[in-house]
Structure 1
């Protein structure tokens, strides 16, 4: 199978596919007549798995280890899920902290505004 068809089936770019070849994640044969890469269904299947794992930010090194040690799949997937949840928790905490700081700032400005309404330009109270 030619690379254009592989791109269509996997949703990956040629650049990504060449990267995964360089990393040794797939090893397509070369056609002896024209020196083109000839991808097997197994190569396409591996690339589909790679694409799915990369969507969930699984590092290429971990993908390589998953292919090398398939019995460790549960371990890697659980670790990745924990990292994703941890990232989500940190992002939620940052959103809450920002919201709280904005609320505090708005409250402070409101109090300051009320305080300054009773002051003249020179800072002294007016009647």
Structure 2
């Protein structure tokens, strides 16, 4: 079963399915053809993806779901207990905060001051405290910078080996910016396009499949 069929049957986006595959919560058959990795899902994989989607909506973490996949009888009760604790904490927080009205504050800082006593001792979310690595935009920018650098080096190499030195020296004596101008007009746009495409290609492959 191909990706589009899986998305239609599970209601998940392609990105979500790829993420669960990357996390190894579901392991479909993978085949490499034409420089791309194609995934083939079975009906059992579809059932598991539906189950993962339901458990995530219920509030289970990826690690709790992974533990249930590994040994349901051993780990399911602990995962359910942890979820109930989190839900109870959310209910307690709601009971404390429901009487705090935004109309009592003149701005975000004032509203935060009203909530400060109620949230004292609670940690900020884990996602705010853990750096997950270079994001896609930074990675693409990195690829573009390197593409421009290598294109410039190649441009200089061509000038040095395939140009008339006397003409180059004359042009440099007249205006050294001529070289940079020529680079900006021809090689630089090419480098930016190549770098952008390379960055997007790498970003897609970081999600396990193109």
TM-score > 0.5 by shorter chain: yes
- Listed one character per residue, the Cα deviations across residues 16-68 of structure 1 (whole Å, up to 9, x for unaligned) are 11111111111111357785311011111111111011102211111111101
1:45 to 31, 41, 47: 47
Match of 1:87 among 69, 87, 90: 90
Residues 1:76 and 2:79 are matched in the alignment: yes
In the alignment, which residue of structure 2 is the partner of 1:58? 60
Unaligned segments of structure 1, at least 5 residues: 103-127
Higher relative contact order (CA 8 A, sep 6+): 2
Question: Could you tell me how far apart the structure 1 residues matched to 2:94 and 2:71 are?
Answer: 32
1:70-127 CA distance string (max 9 Å, x none): 112122112202211211221121113x16xx5xxxxxxxxxxxxxxxxxxxxxxxxx
Residue in 2 aligned with 1:115?
A: none
Gaps of 5+ in 2: 105-210
**Higher deviation after alignment, 24-33 or 55-64:** 24-33
Counterpart in 1 of 2:27? 27
Give structure 1 regions of 4+ aligned residues with deviation exceeding 6 angstroms: none
Inter-partner Cα distance in structure 2 for 1:28 and 1:92: 44
C-alpha distance in 1, partners of 2:42/2:20? 15
Q: CA RMSD in A?
A: 2.2
The alignment covers a number of residue pairs equal to 100
